Each structure stands twice: as structure tokens, then as C-alpha cells.
Homo-oligomer: A and B are copies of this chain.
Amino acid sequence: MADGDTTRRYHLAQRPEGRPAPETFDLRTVELPEPGPGEALVRTQYLSVDPYMRDRMRAGESYSEPWEVGDPLRGGVVGEVVASNGAGVEPGQTVVGNLQWAEHAVADGSDLTPVDTGGLPVSTALSVLGMPGRTAYFGVREVAQPKAGDTMVVSGAAGAVGSVAGQLATLQGAEVIGVAGSDEKVSWLTEELGFAAGINYESADVSDRLDELAPDGVDVYYDNVGGPITDAVFGRLAVDARVAVCGQIALYNDEQLPVGPRKLAKLIETRATVEGFLVRDFAPRFREATSHLGELVAAGDLDYRETVTDGLENAPDAFLGLFDGENIGKQLVKVSD
């Protein structure tokens, strides 16, 4: 175990105003926790950093309970069971759970799920086979529902969710246009993932490009981003369009709700439907999603990428990089082998 009988763990040092900064995070060296009855001690291998975590740093209502100042930060972790006190998992087993940002953490056995990635690296339990993959799966299948021939736009298309969502929609026969923030990302989408087209929003006007790429309008929009990119897509919705609102990363660092053009009249004109969703509402079907995604990866029909940052001490940077679009595919932090 790292450092003998101690472990390192991140706590919320203070609530960020606007963009989180190093002062937001407090890395403490603490005594290695002992698992109580029904608990296990887990050695973290990979930690997932995700945009929704910004929202938990905020006081006030959201769909997640806010973290309190001084609390350990938490996130998706895949790791190895080191000790079990009747937790229903065995030492040596690989598990996934919502654990602390720590080298070692204790969790109730009921919060740990044995990992079966079917021969894929265990990190995929946090990426294509984990929460991001499932979010894409249910968002596409149950909310966005692209039909064959539909023109679908995905924002944040080179991210952990968007890259899977776009591929799943392509497999359903949609013509998928991915919006991402670099030429490298756009090339990945169109050359490797089978997206019909890509728009680099850093170098092109999204509205103009959509006019060219989707002259008959956008039938389906899978939104991970919000803000001006979403304004551009809303301006080009087709009749009976469907919008799945999955994330709004462009807004998460704002303290006040930012303003933008009022678009509801566009929904009348197009008779469009806009629907927000949370993957956790589909929890009873997570096994179905993981199994389906695993089969697609095994068959070579679904590709994925992970951007791995080394070392727990770099977790804040990895998290902050999400807001600059530094990751391609899923951003992970590798904490131990």
C-alpha cells in the first residue's frame, strides 16, 4: 500500500466561484481507513473525472446533493479489493463504485460492483462500458431516438459520451455531424468513428457549416454542451426535431445562469421536442447497456478512446482540462497499476 499506513485523498477545500482552481482542492494524507462491518477497502486503479462534478461543488439545488466544504471528493473508481469485512467481495477482485478521490478508500459492499469487462482493460468500466457509455446508450435509444436517414448533430462529439452517442446513432442509420473543438478531434470522428461529418467550432462558424451540411435541417440533436453551439443547432432544427439534453458543460462554471436567445418560439415553428435526462433513471437496465456496448466493441463496431492522466495528484488538472476540451474520449486519472 502506498505510504504504508496512510493514503492520499482529495477534499473540497472551498467552493469555487466560476472556474475551479488549485485552491478548490485539498490533497490530504490521512490514515488508511479500516473497513467496518460490511465494508471493503479498495485500492484505486483509475478515477473518473466528469463535468457533472462541477455542479456538486456548488451550494444549492441541483440533481445531485452538493458536496460540503471539507468533504472528500467522490467519483467513479475502478480498483482492486484489498480487504473485505464481510462486504460480499473478495480481496483481489476488481470492482467499480462511486468512491473517494483517494489512493485507497473504504466502501460499503452494496456500493461496489464486480467488474467484468470481457477482456477489455478495466479502465473501460469507467468509459465505454461505464457511465459515459451507458449515458450515450440510453440517451440515443430512449431519448434522441434517431431513425435511419435522420440528420443528427452531437455536440461535445469527441468526449466520452458524445463519441459513443454518435457511433450508436450511426449504427442506427443516422447521418451524424459531430461538433468538437479541434481538427484532431474532428478527424478522429470522421476517419475512425464513422461520423458523416464534423465541425471544428474553434475554426468554423457552426451555423454556416450546418447550413451546408444539413440543408434540410437537423432532425435530432444530442446536446452535451449548451451555450452558443446549441443556439446554432436550435436555429436549424427541422420539423418534428428531437433534442436530447445530456449535458451543458459550457455553462457549468458560470455562477449566474448565463443568458442566451430565447428559443421556445422555434419549438412551435418546428413542433420540436426537447427532453432532459439522467442516466441514473435507467439504473435497472445498466446491465443490458453494458452487455450491448461490450458486444459492439468486441465486434469492432464501436471504438473508444481514453485520455489518461497519471497520478492522483494530477486529478484536479485532469478535471479542469474537461472545461478546455483537452481530452479526447474519456478522461481518466490512473492512480495505481
> Which residues in B have their C-beta under 8 angstroms from that of A265?
226, 245, 248, 251-252
> Which residues in B have their C-beta under 8 angstroms from that of A267?
245, 274-276
Closest B residue to A63 by beta carbon equals: B269
Closest B residue to A64 by beta carbon equals: B269
> Which residues in B have their C-beta under 8 angstroms from that of A269?
61-63, 276
**B248, B266, B273: the one within 8 Å of A264 (CB):** B248
The answer on a CB contact under 8 Å between A246 and B226 is no
Report if A299 contacts B (CB, 8 A): no
Report if A1 contacts B (CB, 8 A): no
Tell me the residues in window 243-262 of chain A with beta carbons closer than 8 Å to chain B beta carbons: 245-248, 251-252, 257-262
Tell me the residues in window 207-255 of chain A with beta carbons closer than 8 Å to chain B beta carbons: 223, 226-227, 230, 245-248, 251-252
The answer on a CB contact under 8 Å between B262 and A271 is no
Please measure, in the bound complex, the distance between the C-alpha atom of A166 and the C-alpha atom of B146, giving whole angstroms: 34
Closest B residue to A249 by beta carbon equals: B265
**B260, B263, B264: the one within 8 Å of A223 (CB):** B264
The answer on a CB contact under 8 Å between A281 and B276 is no
Closest B residue to A61 by beta carbon equals: B269
Offer 10 A-B interface pairs, CB within 8 angstroms, sorted by A.
A245-B268, A248-B265, A258-B262, A260-B262, A266-B276, A268-B277, A268-B278, A271-B275, A271-B277, A271-B278
The answer on a CB contact under 8 Å between B268 and A257 is no
Report if A270 contacts B (CB, 8 A): yes
Please measure, in the bound complex, the distance between the C-alpha atom of A264 and the C-alpha atom of B259, giving whole angstroms: 11
Report if A272 contacts B (CB, 8 A): yes
> Which residues in B have their C-beta under 8 angstroms from that of A276?
264, 266-273
The answer on a CB contact under 8 Å between A273 and B275 is yes
The answer on a CB contact under 8 Å between A274 and B264 is yes
The answer on a CB contact under 8 Å between B274 and A273 is yes
Apart from A257-B262, A274-B275, what 19 extra A-B contacts exist at CB < 8 Å? Answer: A61-B269, A62-B269, A223-B264, A226-B262, A226-B264, A226-B265, A230-B264, A245-B264, A245-B267, A247-B268, A248-B265, A251-B262, A252-B265, A259-B259, A260-B260, A267-B274, A269-B276, A271-B275, A274-B274
Of A261, A262, A267, most buried by chain B (CB within 10 Å of CB) is A262
Please measure, in the bound complex, the distance between the C-alpha atom of A272 and the C-alpha atom of B261, giving whole angstroms: 20
**B227, B246, B260: the one within 8 Å of A259 (CB):** B260
A312 to chain B, nearest CB (A): 29
Please measure, in the bound complex, the distance between the C-alpha atom of A245 and the C-alpha atom of B264, giving whole angstroms: 7
Please measure, in the bound complex, the distance between the C-alpha atom of A270 and the C-alpha atom of B278, giving whole angstroms: 9
Please measure, in the bound complex, the distance between the C-alpha atom of A230 and the C-alpha atom of B269, giving whole angstroms: 18
Please measure, in the bound complex, the distance between the C-alpha atom of A252 and the C-alpha atom of B264, giving whole angstroms: 12
Closest B residue to A258 by beta carbon equals: B262
> Which residues in B have their C-beta under 8 angstroms from that of A272?
275-276
Closest 8 CB pairs of A and B: A267-B276, A268-B276, A257-B261, A63-B269, A259-B259, A274-B274, A248-B265, A273-B275
